[in-house]
Amino acid sequence: MAVILDARNLEKRFGAVTAANCVNAAIEADSVVGLIGTNGAGKTTFINMITGYLKPDSGSIHFGGNDITKLAPRDITRLGICRSFQIPQLYSSLTVFEHMLMGLGVVLGNAGLGGFFSSGEPLVPGHHAPAGEVAERILERFGLSEYRDRNAQVLPGGVRKLLDIALTMVAKPKILLLDEPTSGVSASEKFGIMSMVMEAVKAEGATVLFVEHDMEVVSRFAGRVMAFYDGRIIADGVPGAVLEDPEVKRYVVGGALHKPDTGGARA
């Protein structure tokens, strides 16, 4: 497969703390990559550098053959790299459908909700359909149609997570980065929600990188696993091989994998 994202010799320090130490990763198009590691290992720093929220002290990031290292987050998003967050970024006063229209309004360069259903409604770039139709289609793919008219503040935790991820799809991403997609989700729901997310995202043709502490989820859904420790990638390969790697067993699997990240630059 062709490489769609290429991170080369990334370094990032915060004072005396090294958050990224010569990180190299070539991500193939249409792949699903799980990022694992204990809190502070460097996973979120890696994602934040890819999305432009952090700039590496040295090294480069290439997307589709173009250097995006110095671009602003909004410019990187417009190129097709999108992300979701560990804690869903939603507006409690808006309904599920209004969230989708707001996101589509940004894509269309129109922050308002009006005019989406008028005659001559513009087609959403990448989707080749009007905004209202795109919104309904994405909600259906994520199993959110039944919650269409409910405010975000009354949604169950798993549904809020799905909506946050669904919102990333309005931009028709080429790469989607998911920060702990099953955190805050009950054990009985995690596989169902992850299956829904992966089916919906792959139907849109996106390459996926996801940070996850649950090794059952990683083993089931990732085709490739990158294990981080102390700002370095200590193992990179298929899930079975990586999870059996001696260093991964010592520094990652033996750590507090099921505890959610508490934030911070090196999460």
- pLDDT tens string 3-12: 999 999 999 9
Residue 119 has pLDDT above 50, yes or no: no
Under the banding of pLDDT at 50, 70 and 90, the label for residue 247 is very high
Residue 258 has pLDDT above 70, yes or no: no
- d(CA 232, CA 248) in angstroms, rounded, equals 12
Task: Say what the pLDDT of residue 158 is.
Answer: 85
Task: Say what the pLDDT of residue 194 is.
Answer: 92
Query: Model confidence over 133-158: pLDDT tens digits?
Result: 889 999 999 999 999 999 998 998 88
Query: Model confidence over 56-74: pLDDT tens digits?
Result: 999 999 999 999 999 999 8
Q: Of the candidates 166, 127, 124, 171, which has an alpha carbon nearest to the alpha carbon of residue 143?
A: 166
- d(CA 170, CA 154) in angstroms, rounded, equals 23
% residues pLDDT > 90 (the chain)? 61
Under the banding of pLDDT at 50, 70 and 90, the label for residue 237 is very high
Q: Mean pLDDT, to the nearest integer, of 194-203?
A: 89
Task: Say what the pLDDT of residue 262 is.
Answer: 39
Under the banding of pLDDT at 50, 70 and 90, the label for residue 264 is very low
Q: Mean pLDDT, to the nearest integer, of 78-104?
A: 88
Task: Say what the pLDDT of residue 252 is.
Answer: 92
Q: Mean pLDDT, to the nearest integer, of 211-223?
A: 94
pTM of the entire predicted model: 0.84
What is the overall mean pLDDT for the chain?
A: 87
Task: Say what the pLDDT of residue 109 is.
Answer: 66
Task: Say what the pLDDT of residue 227 is.
Answer: 97
Q: Mean pLDDT, to the nearest integer, of 256-263?
A: 41
CB 172 within 8 A of CB 80: yes
